Amino acid sequence: MPEWAPRWNKAVNNRVFSLIAPHIPPYALVIHRGRRSGAEYRTPVLAFRSGATILMALPYGERSDWVRNLLAADEGLVLRAGKRLPITRIAVVDRDSESVSRLPRGLRLAARTPKLLVARVTPRPSQHPASSPGRR
């Protein structure tokens, strides 16, 4: 991947794609808070759900700001298929890890990055500050 691609995606593609990602699976929009600033951010991702587990591809690796923000907070919100999914128990795992191997084969094959973010979809609405409808 060219060096400029991540910067281009963050500056241009993410802004445009954020409008449609929450409505077109397997894409989703992750809402997270900055580790230092506390500001709310929205990042479009490729996400796959199996029961109470959600799996997200990490095309730029585990050092991406959105990944680091989710890991630090251990909570976030995923907008996928028009639904709000609060997430917790967030971890970065190898694609061949035991937690990923239990997921359906189609999910494992679709997320072709070496590392994946795995989280638990919480059964009840989160108190996550980003979950309020009017916030951006």
Q: Which domain holds residue 15?
A: 5-124
Closest by CA to 86, choosing from 96, 95, 94, 77, is 77
Based on C-alpha coordinates, what's the Rg of the chain?
14
In sequence order, what are the residues at sequence separation of 6 or more whose Cβ sits closer than 8 angstroms to the Cβ of residue 94? Answer: 100, 114, 115, 116
User: Is the predicted pLDDT of residue 129 greater than 70, yes or no?
Assistant: no
The token pair that represents 16 in the structure block: 């445009």
Domain presence at residue 131: no
Domain presence at residue 135: no
SS3 57: strand
CATH number at residue 92: 2.30.110.10
Q: Identify which has the larger pLDDT, 10 or 78.
A: 78
Domain presence at residue 38: yes
Global model pTM greater than 0.85:
no
Q: Identify which has the larger pLDDT, 73 or 98.
A: 73
SS3 81: coil
Write out pLDDT tens, residues 35-91: 999 999 999 999 988 889 998 988 888 999 999 999 999 999 999 999 999 999 999
In sequence order, what are the residues at sequence separation of 6 or more whose Cβ sits closer than 8 angstroms to the Cβ of residue 112? Answer: 57, 95
| Domain count across the chain | 1
